[in-house]
Structure 1
Amino acid sequence: MTSLPFRDINVHASASHYAFTSPSTPSAPTLVVDRPTGDLRLNDGALLGGKRVSSIAGILGMIRLRLDKYIIVITKAQPMGRLKGHMIYKVIATEFLPLREQPLHDPDEDTYLALLKTFIKSGPMYFSYSFDITNTFQRQSQLDQSQPLWKRADDRFFWNRFIQSDLIDFRSSGTRQHHGHQPDVDPYILPVMFGMLEIQTTRINSTPLTLVLITRRSRHRAGTRYFSRGIDEQGHVSNFNETEQIVILNDTTSGLGGFAGGGGMQNGKVGGSGGKEVQIMSYVQTRGSVPVYWAEINNLKYTPKLQIRGVETAVSAAKAHFDEQIRLYGDNYLVNLVNQKGREKRVKDAYEQMVKLLVSSPSERTQQDQLSDEKFHVVEPSGRHQTMDRLHYVYFDFHNETKGLKWHRAQLLLDQLNDALEKQQYFRGVDMPADLEGRLEVRNHQTSVVRTNCMDCLDRTNVVQSMLARFALNRQLVDLGVLPRGQTFTSDEDFEILFRKLWADNADVVSRSYSGTGALKTDFTRTGKRTKAGALQDLQNSITRYAKNNFMDGPKQDAFDLFLGAYLPRANQVFVDSRPLLVQSIPYILAFSIFFVLVGTFTRQLPDAAILPVRIFILFWLVVGGWCLNFIYSNGMLYVNWPKLNPRPWATEGYQEAISNVRKDKVIGNLVTRHDRTLSTARYTNAEEGKKRIE
């Protein structure tokens, strides 16, 4: 029996169970989920008594909330294109099937459901029934292709791993009635990836090829910009993304059209234009937050407060992080793009101190340039003794070098990395037409990776990554003979536009999931020039980011924690606002005061009406509004929309500090103290920072 996921599943619902069957594989056992317990079992043959509800594209997973358990099914999936003949889909719509027949309405349960539905709807999630999109081509070439798809999936990018854990546990150990392994469950387990995926069939110098860009977002330490920074104890960093740029040559099975008419079989060989070998080349890069314990604390100021804990305390976490990176990718070239002046300097210094602690007997050098004070700062091991000596730290002051719209100067970083890029190569494989499992004959490996970061790992990072991708792609096309030596694909205008669009789209997708807006500086990525219109768009995005990061990211972070299993719902109520009523009401008083000022200013006066009372009225509400605005800004931590499920430690500390300041306030201090006797800080401190589900 095939271990690939079913392409078609019917759901039958009855008062006692949900039954899942695959009409195209009638011999396969039926997966039954008993109601309301959620117990799983396999049934040979169809179950009678369940009216057919719907046909679905797959099971996303199962999740237990406060009062009930739900099966999340994918009801609509959009084809995104073919990759080596395998169709890739995007999740468009899902449905939550409750296990209780009579749903119990509860404000917290409804909030949990709303969080999850919004999250799934906004998150770009992709899957394939027959191709492993969580692994790079290089990793796929080293895996056992006979394993079920979910077992081959890279754990970091198996986005629905937590909500699939019921099915995976049942697969591994069965139940009291069904002991042992249950391989018949494999086709119901569908791994989903979160990130960016675009497949473009195009041509360069009249050579047809497929250009693919995939960015996979790690499910570990996932979250939003200011609520997820740095590293955790397990060595996972925030906003970790792996980007793979793929070029497929002589392939007639890619793109949306699938198998091209007449081109599929030529000269008795499958999948070739004129029987040429199908060539696959891929180039991989990573990005991730600076691997020390650090945070930026929202307080309604435009630039949040920066907090860095002692670097020494994070050494074991950083070692775990880089151990994994080196095991997976080989040598790591750590390109750091944060500023060397101002507030970002502390993050730069902490990163450099961490690398020095990790590599044995580090040697440092600074390379000068005629045009600027400092160009590069490099930390390298002087002798090669241990694993961590495969880290090579390169600092580039991106903002300083490119200021005044001199963006061509970013090329200096590439010149600095040139030897490393030459040495690291790229992955190249050739299709083996006789191999039924679609294995590749590997001709070349990528031996190292460039890990790029700025403060957010978004805007500067994407500009540099697109430049590295351009370098690799030019080299691949020359090596294949598609471009003559010394020529770059810039000479083909249509291809150049397509390449820029792919990387600008990538920037926007990664940025939207972390910061809430598209990326900054994408005018440079899209057009190759920094424009005034682009700078205005950046200003608009920056203002939107400020509003979203302060007032909307709390619930978004809660949705991440809920979906990925970083928080398990419990009986206690967590969405109650425990701030003193007076503190809660001040934004409303501010809104009223603005309204009354506008009414007083724009209401038409009778000719003989006295002006003084109206002026006093406007002045009074102006004073009230000004005081409210000052109060909110001075006590910003009370008005940030914090995550409520896994409260951040600095939010708890800041909350306590702000409340004690409010109690000393000359105007409302006494009122707050009087009504504050029963105040609970449950809003911030609930349940030991959320139970972690250790898988």
Structure 2
Amino acid sequence: MSVPYRDINVQAASDSYIFTSPSSPNAPALSIDRPTGDIRLVDGALLSGKRVSRVSSIAGILGMIRLRLDKYIIVISKAQPVGRLRGHMVYKVIATELLPLRERQIHDPDEDRFLALLKTFIKSGPMYFSYSIDITNSFQRQALQDIGAPLWLRADDRFFWNRFVQSDFIDFRTRGGRGQPAPQPGIDPYILPVIYGMLEIRPTQYKGTPLTIALITRRSRHRGGTRYFSRGLDEEGHAANYNETEQIVILNDRGAGLGGFAGGDEAQLRTSTSDGKEMQILSYVQTRGSVPVYWAEVNTLKYTPKLQIRGIEAAFPAARAHFEEQVRIYGDNYLVNLVNQKGREQRVKQAYEQMVEMLVRPHKERTLADQATDEKFHTIEPAERHQSGDRLHYVYFDFHSETKGLQMHRAQLLVDQLHDALMAQQYFRAVDTPTSHIDGRLEVRTLQTSVVRTNCMDCLDRTNVVQSMLARWTLDRMFVDLGLQAPGSRFADQDPEFEFLFRNLWADNADVVSKSYSGTGAMKTDLTRLGKRTKAGALRDANVAISRYCRNNFLDGPRQDAFDLFLGAYSPATASIGTTLIFADRRPVFIQSIPYLAAFSLFLAFLGLFSRRSDSAIWPMRMFVIFWTVVAAWCIHFIIANGVLYVNWPKLNPRPWATEGFHETMAKVRKDRILGPIVARHERGLSTSRYLNAEEGKKRIE
């Protein structure tokens, strides 16, 4: 089996970059020509006399990307061991380096901005990889795969995060290149799949029994982006903020811990346990994803964005494609919806239910109520089974209403409602004995036959609380089946230290998933970490809410551009950007100046308030303060009333709703008797230059 090289040297020459593996001297070397970027496999023995400017050691090749002026090879310069799964070491990307193919003599502002976006994105993104185990797939999917295929070919395309930047190498592998027209399997060890998300591996013990517990959340590379700029589905059926979370328990793991070398090939990796006991692997998978319709929330600087929902019929093909894929991969889908049944979220709830009713035909509905609410639960179940849509089971739970007043224990009602489904879906369980399955295959005992897909508005805070509760219920069941605890008991009562570890694993998961989507840690983590809602946790949530508001309005535009750039939703090399600077601010100068005028006015007003003055200067100073206070108030009112003009929107793929809102607001400002002539005098090619690729962006994003 071909696995990626764990030791790669890169030699930088004037005409090429050459990658070799010291531990595999007979393997072909990878040569990337400069400045064309042509890829070739060459005999490493022929390179001994080649003059190179430097030689460095790297952990792997993340990929190669073409920007506006040049191509860059992204290499992993530093990786940190995280832990072992089945004896295979897993690493986190710590540092990367971009190797340019050209020696650029001049600085282009757009190229520099592209590079800054990439570097910031890669540095802040939690990315993980392994040289010998496929962490893009759950253990259940791994057990059903052909493990003889190269690692990148086994990778789940949804979670192969660097798939786009690896596309040049993959194209060379499948079609060859200049002078090497046939498929080139020799490049397989240089292609390293990476996931983006959360991964923690904790060797521990439960009631004296050693085990390893791990939590892996894999974020989909499709429709990747930030909170308000990536909602709902795209036309291919990919959901925003889609994550697969796998909770893993391994008994008698081999080489648990961080010490030692993981070996060079699969045979070396598969050493038996010291006491000859068979390794047992148990895993449970859940998913989360945005409400599967066409919807958006439009930032206007108000705390609550404007909600837009397009026609349900228009989104039906995309939703059908989404759930056909989900059913094909996971089996039956239990769709747990946690949005509010009242207020602004009500429209999202109704749109989801209308979509499920269209997908599941015929169906039967049931509403459960009590004295506190008319709709505690709302379920939609298939009446017959004759198509993929009839494997969808919708369960609505009014999370906020049921848990208000810090009564978070009432969320257990949802687990009770899902009890029969959880019992039927099972979990994955397999064994790996030291005397059999030398080829690495697992002996499967049970399979997980369905999945719970949970969502709230953001698929962050409420979603993580519910997912942790389902994971807790399943982990109790695993321990009972393993004989580690009695039926009906809970591990929380059996081992407080393990309970503490479990809580913090899921709280860490909440923070990582939330930060990658909203820019901040999660809310309600006091419930996950402490098991109860606290006043301190509520105060922390208020701080998170304020931080999210600031980030989502003023910082997420560049973050979304970075997602689009790295994932291939925007290609600088093919975009029709002409000679204009794509990142330039094309708003009228007067519009740009208003925030600065507001700050200047407030400064002068405060300066006047606290300045010393004689009796004869009291009234002039008062008029001075009043004047600048009025100017500041008018500026602030203008900014709030026309907030869409001051949101930091993505510039690479402008969102259609942003374009429409921008033009509507500008038209309103132009009609103002006083401001209209001033704005018109200072316009600088506003709509044409800034939104040249709006229609192209609309096709790719919506």
- The CA distance in 2 between the partners of 1:34 and 1:79, in whole Å, is 32
Which residue of the partner structure matches residue 543 of structure 1? Answer: 546
Q: 1:636 aligns with which of 638, 643, 667?
A: 643
Comparing 467-476 with 47-56, which one deviates more in the overlay?
47-56
Report deviation, 1:296: 0.4
1:270 Cα deviation after fit: 4.9
Closer/same/farther in 2, CA of residues 259 and 663 from structure 1, 3 Å limit: closer
Give the equivalent residue in structure 2 for 1:626: 633
Query: Contact (CA 8 Å) 2:357, 2:380: kept in 1 or not?
Result: yes
Q: Please give the TM-score of this superposition, normalised by the length of structure 2.
A: 0.95
Q: Report Cα offsets for 1:290-315 as digits up to 9, x if no partner.
A: 00000000000100000001101111
- 1:351 aligns to 2:352 (yes or no): yes
How far the C-alpha of 1:598 sits from its partner, in A, is 2.2
Q: Deviations over 1:395-444 (max 9, x none)?
A: 00000000111111100001100000000000001013233332110000
Query: Structure 1, residues 327-361: CA drift from partner, whole Å, max 9, x if none?
Result: 00000000000000011010000100001101121
Equivalent residue letter for 1:180: A
Residues 115-158 of structure 1: CA deviation (Å, up to 9, x unaligned): 11000011000001111000000000011101000000000000
Counterpart-to-counterpart distance in 2, 1:685 and 1:415: 53
How far does the alpha carbon of each residue in 1:32-65 deviate from its partner, in whole angstroms, 9 at most, with x for none? 1111100011110242112333111111000000
- Assess, with a 3 A threshold, how the Cα gap between structure 1 residues 608 and 375 changes in structure 2: closer, same or farther: closer
Paired residue type of 2:24: T
CA shift at 1:693, angstroms? 8.6
Query: Could you tell me whether the CA contact under 8 Å between 1:209 and 1:250 is conserved in 2?
Result: yes
Q: Secondary structure at the match of 2:97?
A: strand
> Could you tell me how far apart the structure 1 residues matched to 2:19 and 2:261 are?
31
The aligned residue for residue 591 of structure 1 is 599
Given candidates 654, 666, 678, the residue that maps to 1:647 is 654
Residues 594-605 of structure 1: matches in 2 within 5 Å?
594-605=602-613
Does 1:160 find its partner at 2:168? no
Task: Find the residue that maps to 1:646 and give its secondary structure.
Answer: coil
Alpha-carbon distance between aligned partners in 2 of 1:479 and 1:168, rounded to the nearest angstrom? 43
Aligned partner of 1:71 in structure 2 is: 73
Partner of 1:396: 397
Structure 2 unmatched runs, 5+: 263-269
1:205-244 alignment runs, 5 A limit: 205-244=207-246
Q: Which residue of 2 aligns with 1:675?
A: 682
Contact 1:567 1:691 in 2 (8 A): no
Q: Compute the displacement of 1:104 (Å).
A: 3.4
Are the structure 2 counterparts of residues 649 and 70 from structure 1 closer, same or farther at C-alpha, using a change threshold of 3 Å?
Answer: same
Preserved contact between residue 336 and residue 452 of structure 1 (Cα < 8 Å): yes
2:367 counterpart residue number = 366
Q: Counterpart in 1 of 2:172?
A: 170
Displacement of 1:277 in angstroms is 1.3
| Structure 1 partner of 2:265 | none
Q: Distance in 1 between matches of 2:684 and 2:565?
A: 32
1:9 maps to amino acid: I
Displacement after TM superposition at 1:691 (Å): 9.5
Shift of 1:179: 1.6
- Per-residue displacement from partner, 1:214-238 (whole Å, max 9, x unpaired)? 0000000010000000001100000
Contact 1:10–1:52 (CA under 8 A) maintained in structure 2: no
1:373-384 matches, cutoff 5 A: 373-384=374-385
With over 3 angstroms needed to count, the CA separation of the structure-2 counterparts of 1:21 and 1:306, relative to structure 1, is same
1:289/1:656 CA distance change after superposition, 3 Å: same
Aligned-pair distance for 1:273?
A: 5.7
* 8 Å contact from structure 1 (residues 197, 215) kept in 2: yes
1:356-380, CA deviations, whole angstroms, 9 ceiling, x for partnerless residues? Answer: 1011211101123355432110001
Q: Distance in 1 between matches of 2:372 and 2:678?
A: 61
Letter in 1 for 2:451: V
1:67 and 1:129 map into 2 onto residues whose CA distance is 33
Q: Tell me, yes or no, if the aligned pair for 2:565 and 2:571 is still in contact at 8 Å.
A: yes
Matching residue of 2:569? 566
**Equivalent residue for 2:583?**
575
Deviation for aligned residue 1:30? 1.1
CA–CA distance in structure 2, aligned partners of residues 66 and 288 of structure 1: 33
3-state secondary structure, aligned to 1:37: coil
User: Cα distance 1:270–1:91, how it changes in 2: closer, same or farther (>3 A)?
Assistant: closer
Alignment of 1:262-281 (within 5 A): 270-272=271-273, 274-281=275-282
RMSD: 1.7
SS at match of 1:616: helix
Report the counterpart of residue 81 of structure 1 in structure 2: 83
Deviation at 1:591, TM superposition (A): 1.2
How do 1:127-166 and structure 2 match up within 5 A? Answer: 127-166=129-168
Correspondence list, 1:304-323, <5 A? 304-323=305-324
Judged with a 3 Å threshold, the aligned counterparts in structure 2 of structure 1 residues 382 and 693 are, in CA distance, closer, same or farther, namely: closer
| 2:368/2:374 contact within 8 Å kept | no
Q: Does the 8 A contact of 2:586 with 2:690 survive in 1?
A: yes
Q: How big is the shift at 1:595?
A: 1.5
SS of 1:168 mapped into structure 2: helix
Q: Percent identity?
A: 70
Q: Which residue does 2:334 correspond to in 1?
A: 333
Give me the whole-angstrom Cα distance separating, in 2, the residues matched to 1:101 and 1:196: 37
Map of 1:460 onto structure 2: 462
**2:515 partner SS:** helix
Are the counterparts in 1 of residues 586 and 684 from structure 2 also a CA contact under 8 Å?
no
AA of the residue aligned to 1:626: A
Deviates more, 1:371-380 or 1:70-79: 371-380
Matching residue's letter, 2:619: L
1:630 to 1:681, Cα distance in 2 relative to 1, 3 A: farther
1:488-537 deviation digits (Å, cap 9, x = unpaired): 10121100000000000000000000001000000000000100000000
What's the TM-score once normalised by structure 1's chain length? 0.96
Distance between the aligned counterparts of 1:257 and 1:554, measured in 2?
Answer: 42
* C-alpha deviation, 1:271, in angstroms: 3.4
Equivalent runs, 1:374-523 vs 2, <5 Å:
374-433=375-434, 434-491=436-493, 492-523=495-526
In structure 1, what residue type is equivalent to 2:196?
F
Cα distance in structure 2, aligned partners of 1:101 and 1:107: 16
Q: Is contact 1:360–1:385 with CA below 8 Å preserved after alignment?
A: no
**Contact 1:252 1:259 survives alignment (8 Å):** no
Letter in 1 for 2:12: A
**Does residue 659 in structure 1 map to residue 666 in structure 2?**
yes
- Residue range with higher mean Cα deviation, 18-27 or 417-426: 18-27
Q: C-alpha distance in 1, partners of 2:692/2:537?
A: 42
- 1:612 is paired with a residue whose SS is helix
> 1:283 maps to what in 2?
284
Amino acid at match of 2:583: F
Moved more, 96-105 or 485-494: 96-105
* 1:201 counterpart residue number: 203
> Which stretch of structure 1 is more off in the superposition, 674-683 or 355-364?
674-683
Question: Partner of 2:513: helix, strand, or coil?
Answer: helix
Instruction: Single out whichever of 55-64 and 662-671 deviates more from structure 2.
Output: 662-671
Gaps of 5+ in 1: 261-268
